[in-house]
Structure 1
Amino acid sequence: MLSFITRRLGLLIPTFFGITLLTFALIRMIPGDPVEVMMGERRVDPE
C-alpha cells in the first residue's frame, strides 16, 4: 500500500507540471491580451 501511495504522489508532480505548461501555452497562443479576450466587446475609454 505504501508503494502505491508513493507511486501516485510521484506521478502527481509531473502531472501538475504538465497541466501548468499546457495552460500557459494555450493562454499564450490566443491573439491579443488575455484581459481583452475576457472583456470581449466591452471596451472602456482610457479617460
Structure 2
Amino acid sequence: MVMDKKDFEQISNSKARKEMEKLQKKASSGDKAAKKMLEKEIKRK
C-alpha cells in the first residue's frame, strides 16, 4: 500500500484530533493538567 503525502497528513490529523478530543473531555471534567496541555496545543497551531 502506497500512501501519498495527503493521505498521510489526513491520518496524522485524525490522530491529533482524537488526542485533542480526549484532552477536551478531561479538561471539561475539571482536569487542570489536561487544560494546560490543551492550551499549549491550541497555541502551537
TM-score by length of 1: 0.50
Q: Which protein, 1 or 2, shows the higher relative CO under an 8 Å CA cutoff with sep ≥ 6?
A: 2
TM-score by length of 2: 0.51
Q: Which has the higher helix share?
A: 2
Match of 2:21 among 9, 19, 23: 23
Partner Cα separation in structure 2 for residue 19 and residue 31 of structure 1: 18
- Structure whose CA Rg is larger: 1
5+ residue gaps in structure 1? 33-47
5+ residue gaps in structure 2? 31-45
Which residue identity is paired with 2:17?
I
User: What is the RMSD computed on CA atoms of the aligned residues?
Assistant: 1.9
Q: Give the 4+ runs in structure 1 shifted more than 3 A.
A: none
Partner Cα separation in structure 2 for residue 22 and residue 15 of structure 1: 10
Aligned residues: 28
